[in-house]
Structure 1
Amino acid sequence: MVLTLRRSARRSLALQIDHRGPRVSVPYGLAQSEVERFVRSHTRWLLDKLDERSERPLPEPMSLRDGAEFPLLGEGVRLRIGPASPRQVRWRLGTDGREELWLPASAVLDRTLVKALRARALAWFGGRVEEFCFRLNQEVPAVRLTSANTRWGSCSRSSGIRLHWRLIHLPPALSDYVVAHEVAHLEEMNHSPRFWAVVESLYPDWRAARQALRKAAETLPLIGGEPDPTPQED
C-alpha cells in the first residue's frame, strides 16, 4: 500500500481515500514523526476503508462525448459538444424537452463542465439556504461551494455555509437534507439533541435522507481528475 503525503496550509491532519489511493493531508512544518504517529493511530480505520473499497467497483470517469448524460438535480441532462464557435457555455432545452448543456468543442471539457455545474450549484443552493434560514428566522449567511471529498458541507459563524458542489447531481429531496443540516448549525454549533431537533423541524424525514445520501454518493459521476465523490456529514 502506497500512502501519499500532502502538505498544505490546513490546521488539522486528515486521512482520505479515493480512486487514486490513500493519502494523508497535514499542515506545513509538521514533523514527520507526528505524521507517522497519526497514521499508526488510524491504521485500523484505514485498513477497514480499503477493505470496503475492494468490495465495490471503482467509479469510472464520465465519458465526455456528445450525447453523454449526467444527473442534475436528480434528472438526466444531455451533454452536447458544439462547434468551436460560439465559445460560450449554454443551457437549453432539446427538441425532446430535456435539458442540454452545450460546451464548445474548443474547451477543456472536464474543466468547463465542472465550472458550469458549480455555477448551477451556487445559484441553486443559495436559494435553498435562504429558504431554510427564513423558516428559522435566521439571517442568511454567505454561501460558498467546496470540493473537499471529506464532507458534504460545513457551517461557520464567521465564514458562512459551504456546500459540496457535487450535491447538484442529487434530487432536491436529498440535497435539501444537507442544506437543512448546515442551516441548523446557525442555531446549534454542535450535534446535540437540540441540534437534531432543529434539523427535524426543517426536514422531518432526515433519518431516511441521511441513509439514502450515503448510498447515493456512490452513484455520482466522476468527471476528469476529480476526487471520488464520497464525502460524509460534517
Structure 2
Amino acid sequence: MDLFEGLGNEFAPAKPAAPRPRKVGKKAAPPGPSPSVPAESQQDKSREAGTALPAVPLRDTLALASFVHPQATRETVLGSARVAYEFKRGKRKTIGFLVGAEGLSVRAPRWVTLRDVDAAIKEKSDWILRKLLETQQRHARVEATRIAWKDGAQFPFMGETVMIRLDPKHGFASVGGTLDASDDGHGPRILRLAVAQNAEASQIRDAAQAWLMRQARRLFIERLDHFAPRLGVRWKKLSLSNAATRWGSASADGSIRLNWRLIHFRLPVIDYVVAHELAHLRVMDHSHRFWETVESVVPDYDRLRQQLKDEAVPRWS
C-alpha cells in the first residue's frame, strides 16, 4: 500500500433512461437510441473534438484566474476561474476528478455524454476550485524553497534550518560532512561539506543530498525498529525512494519504501509516515481498522498527516 500526496474525487452519474415516446396524433413516435449506449448529440461530438468555452466577455476573461493542465483538451469557466483540463474516457463506472501538480484531470465512462460531464464538473466546482487553489499555493511555496546551491545555502533538516559551509580541508572526507552548532549560538546549525569552494552547484547539491540520505536511512531504521514491536509486525527491508508524489509504501513481504526527503520534516511527522507504512503490514488497505491501528501508536496522526500535505519541502531539481 502507498501513501500518496494526490487529490481525487468521484462522481457517479445516473445512466440516461430511454426517452418517453412522443405522441403524434394517435401513434407514438419510435423510442430513441438504447439507453445502454446513449448517443451523443452532434453538438457534443464537436465539443469533444475541440475546446468548448462558455461565452464570456473579453474583459471578464482577461480578469479570470487561470488553471491550465499541460495536456488539456477541454476548457470551462467555474466561478471566476478559467479551467483547462485533461479529459479522457475509459472503462469505468463513474466520472473521476484528480487535482494534481499539473492541474485538473477528468475521467469519464464511455457512455456518459459531455453534457453530463459538464454538469458533474459544475456540481463539483467548489471542490475543484478549492483543490486547484490549494495546489497552486503549495506549488508557490515549493518554488519559494528552491535552493541556490552555494556556500551559505540553507534547507530544513528534521524541521530545523541548517546552513552549508564548503570546507574541503576538514578531516571528514570519508563521511562527506558533519553537522556542527551555529557559529554564534543563535543562527542555524552548520553543515560542513567536503566540497571545494569553486565546485559546481550540482556537486554541492549532490553532496548535500548524499549526506541527507545517510541521515534518513539511519533515522528511518531507528524509527522502524521503534514502532514495529508496538504494532506487532516485522519489517525485513528498507529502500529509500525519491518519488514526486509518494511518501512511502509497504509490501506484504515486509519491504518498506520511504522517501528520503521526509528527513526535512520534524520527527513527529516522520513517525507518522513510518507508523502508517508499518500499519499496512497488519491491514493492507485504508479501512477504519487501518486508521485505528495507526492511531494506537500515533494518536494525533490526523494533524501530522495534514502537516505533511501543507508544509513545503525544498525543490531539488
TM-score normalised per structure 2 = 0.53
Tell me which residue corresponds to 2:236: 141
Tell me which residue corresponds to 1:208: 303
- Please tell me whether the aligned partners of residues 180 and 203 of structure 1 are also in contact (alpha carbons under 8 angstroms): yes
Tell me which residue corresponds to 1:154: 249
SS in 2 for 1:152: strand
Q: CA deviation at 1:128?
A: 0.5
Structure whose CA Rg is larger: 2
Paired with 1:36 and 1:113, the residues of 2 have a C-alpha distance of 41
Paired with 2:261 and 2:246, the residues of 1 have a C-alpha distance of 11
Tell me which residue corresponds to 2:191: 100
- Find out whether 1:222 has 2:315 as its counterpart: yes
- How big is the alpha-carbon RMSD for the aligned residues of Structure 1 and Structure 2? 2.9
Q: List aligned pairs for 1:1-150, cutoff 5 A.
A: 37=89, 45=99, 46-47=103-104, 52-55=134-137, 57=140, 59-60=143-144, 61-83=146-168, 87-88=173-174, 89-94=176-181, 95-96=183-184, 98-105=189-196, 106=199, 108-150=203-245
| Unaligned ranges ≥5, structure 1 | 1-14, 24-34, 226-234
Task: Go from structure 1 to structure 2 and tell me whether the alpha carbon gap of 1:167 and 1:85 turns closer, same or farther (over 3 Å shift).
Answer: same
Task: Go from structure 1 to structure 2 and tell me whether the alpha carbon gap of 1:154 and 1:109 turns closer, same or farther (over 3 Å shift).
Answer: same
Q: CA deviation at 1:36?
A: 6.0
- Please tell me whether the aligned partners of residues 235 and 278 of structure 2 are also in contact (alpha carbons under 8 angstroms): no
- Greater CA deviation, 152-161 or 164-173? 152-161
Which letter does structure 2 place at the counterpart of 1:199? V
Task: Go from structure 1 to structure 2 and tell me whether the alpha carbon gap of 1:101 and 1:82 turns closer, same or farther (over 3 Å shift).
Answer: closer
Paired with 1:200 and 1:43, the residues of 2 have a C-alpha distance of 29
Q: CA deviation at 1:167?
A: 0.5
| Unaligned ranges ≥5, structure 2 | 1-5, 8-68, 72-86, 105-127
Tell me which residue corresponds to 1:189: 284
Tell me which residue corresponds to 1:27: none
| Deviation digits for residues 111-163 of structure 1 (CA, Å, limit 9, x no counterpart) | 22212211111111111111110212322321111111121110002361111
The alignment of Structure 1 onto Structure 2 pairs a total of residues equal to: 191
Q: CA deviation at 1:63?
A: 1.4
Paired with 1:42 and 1:197, the residues of 2 have a C-alpha distance of 28
Task: Go from structure 1 to structure 2 and tell me whether the alpha carbon gap of 1:209 and 1:79 turns closer, same or farther (over 3 Å shift).
Answer: same
| Deviation digits for residues 191-220 of structure 1 (CA, Å, limit 9, x no counterpart) | 11111111010101111111121111x2x1
Report % sequence identity. Answer: 36
SS in 2 for 1:100: strand
After TM superposition, which residue ranges in structure 1, 4 or more long, deviate above 6 angstroms? 41-44
TM-score normalised per structure 1 = 0.70
Task: Go from structure 1 to structure 2 and tell me whether the alpha carbon gap of 1:187 and 1:102 turns closer, same or farther (over 3 Å shift).
Answer: same
Tell me which residue corresponds to 1:166: 261
